[in-house]
Amino acid sequence: MSRLNSSALWEFFQKLDNEKKAKCNSCGEVYSFKTSTANLKTHLRRKHLNAYTSLCTAQSTARTPEQSRGQEPADDVQPQPSSSSSDAASASTSTAASTIPIYRAAQQLIDRYGISKKKVTLTKKRQIDNDLADLFIDSYHPFSLVEERAFKKFARHIPGYDLPSRKTVSNILIPTLYDQTVLRKKEEINNIEFLSLTTDLWTSRVNDAYIAVTGHYLTKDLVLKTFLLKCAEFKDTHSSTNIQAALLETTNEWNLTNKINFIVSDNAPNVKKAIADIGWKHYGCYGHTLNLIVQDALNSVQASLDKVKTIVRHFKTSTAALEKLLKAQSQEKPDVTPKRLIQEVPTRWNSTFAMLQRFVELENQICATVAVLKKDLPILTLEEWTVFHELCKVLKPFDEATKAMSGEDYMTASTIIVMTRCLKESCDQLLLEGFTVTTNNIITVLRTGLDKRFEGVERSGTFSICTLLDPRYKTNVFSDTSEAAKAKKVLEEILATDIRRRHGEKQPQQSTSTSASIPVRDKFSPWTILNNIVGTQQQQVGTPLSCAIKEVDSYLKEDILPTFNENGKFNCPLQWWQLKQHIYPNLAILLRKYGNIMATSVPCERIFSKTGLTINNRRTQLKTYKVAQLTYLNVNLDPKRFLIES
């Protein structure tokens, strides 16, 4: 068979009878050939790249490695003597050459024909550029990644794609994506009515100060949304005047200053004064307040806690001591993964509880390890160990409360009243457990702190309404029934005012228009008297206040939404409202004003945690405005963007 007829090319073409023409099996186009099939191969290369790659692979396997590279055997190869051993070696060499990965030979042929040099389309390039930007936004990699030799080696396998430079990523890709995201977010929140804020200040590892402001709102479909307005450098001193200016600059930039209904921050006096001067409703972070209560209560055992911190610090800094501690755990519980001790961090809430909980959990292993260490570590008495065990029980409710109140994807302000009451009752029950005198004193201080720092929380108009609008609580969680009745009346008045504002209605005035619609009769006539009675009552029907009272009463008479569902998870009040908003339309509108309020400033704390990851050891020279852009994109881009599309 001639070479023309035996070529692997004919797996992709069909010869036509009595003509020097062939038909493509893929697209059906007809091409002529006489003494060469070059035009057929050209067609595959231009139109059917996969088929052309397969053809190149098939042809490369039919050649020697030197022929596949277009080379002759090297001249310096020494001839082998004719012997059985040399034949075996020759056969071994031939076998090794034949096992060269087929894709490598195909890649060489593709490179030779310039296929890999074909540029990707503009749309595809933008897609790849966006995925590359995600490495810096979502994974906190430095911009210098694109200049690293290993990454360049990896990127060369993307056909037709030229890796952008570090400056292109930093000065074009990221700023462009940032501007697009800001514009899109402004369009998204353009029509919202109410926005609550959280704010906080933070200093980075390179001693740059930052201020963060997050916004929270409910959509018309009653879905809670969170976004970052700003996380930017704060150059001035942390005076109330400068903080006030920064907050107003941020909200003015977004045209939101007149839409702010609440703001949450820590309890720093300068921040509180700045917000008060603006005139916004303010509340000190619930989690921060709980932490202050706990720290005040633990002052009486601070000396014992210092001993624990010293021991933990030794196991954190000594590899030999840590190895012995881990070994002691493995010997006692071979099937359980060994745990490390946790050190207290003053700026992290509940870290004292986490330290004590782990310390008590590993009591036996710690005592056994310390006994064999040649180190002068503090000695803990039996009474101190007893107090530590009791403190874990005492502090656990405060830890659970802090975690529950630190969410930003669900309503939290509505839980402030009920959580405060639950913590007070928890302290009352703990005092009956027969703990040591030291522990009971701590519980008493905790109970006093709750009374002092959360005094009058049930009289708060904002939080009482938030509680009433939560179908899990309504009026049932108020410890004072008179405060619940007052809250209900306030809710009715606010709802009536809101109805009047939206419908442009005015307070009804005394009128005799009803009696004018019937024939004039003697004033002593029973029909005249009946008309006066009915007319007076009708004047009260359909007014904003009567509509508000009727809707509130109907809502409060509904069954309470269980706190937990059948799976043991919290029921979401917003999901309940999404189903009931057409039954209680006015209350649903009012919910958008109160259901977006956060109980803590944790959303800003999370922002700074991400900012700390951005300013890592490899990018301490990163400009502050670049940090602001990267943090903004990390928080505000759709999380689905970072997933692999199926």
pLDDT of 533: 66
The pTM assigned to this predicted structure is 0.74
Contact criterion met (CB below 8 Å) for 353 and 395: yes
Distance from C-alpha of 191 to C-alpha of 220, rounded to nearest angstrom: 10
Q: What are the tokens at 400?
A: 């659970």
pLDDT of 61: 60
| DSSP 8-class letter at 497 | H
pLDDT of 98: 43
Q: What are the tokens at 174?
A: 């990221």
Domains of the chain are 1-70+100-118 (no CATH), 189-285+600-615 (3.30.420), 292-455 (no CATH)
Distance from C-alpha of 448 to C-alpha of 434, rounded to nearest angstrom: 19
Distance from C-alpha of 622 to C-alpha of 633, rounded to nearest angstrom: 16
**What is the Cβ-side half-sphere exposure of residue 507, based on CA atoms within 13 angstroms?**
4
pLDDT of 559: 92
Which amino acid belongs to residue 368? A
Instruction: With H, G, I as helix, E, B as strand and everything else as coil, classify residue 502.
Output: helix
How many Cβ atoms sit within 10 Å of the Cβ of residue 260?
A: 19
Q: What are the tokens at 382?
A: 């039996």
How many Cβ atoms sit within 10 Å of the Cβ of residue 638?
A: 9
Complete DSSP assignment for 141-188: --GGGGG-HHHHHHHTTSTT-PPPPHHHIIIIIHHHHHHHHHHHHHHH
Distance from C-alpha of 569 to C-alpha of 575, rounded to nearest angstrom: 14
Distance from C-alpha of 487 to C-alpha of 476, rounded to nearest angstrom: 12
Q: What are the tokens at 337?
A: 């993964």
Distance from C-alpha of 585 to C-alpha of 602, rounded to nearest angstrom: 32
The model's pLDDT over 536-560, given as tens digits with 9 standing for 90+, comes to 444 445 688 899 999 999 999 999 9
The model's pLDDT over 65-74, given as tens digits with 9 standing for 90+, comes to 444 444 444 4
Distance from C-alpha of 546 to C-alpha of 492, rounded to nearest angstrom: 9
Contact criterion met (CB below 8 Å) for 436 and 390: yes
How many Cβ atoms sit within 10 Å of the Cβ of residue 122?
A: 8
Per run of 10 residues, the mean pLDDT along the chain (length 646 residues) is 60 78 84 79 79 73 49 42 44 44 53 60 90 90 90 90 91 93 93 93 86 94 94 91 95 94 93 95 94 94 96 94 94 91 86 95 94 90 96 95 91 94 96 95 97 92 94 93 94 93 59 45 66 55 84 94 86 93 94 93 87 66 86 90 76
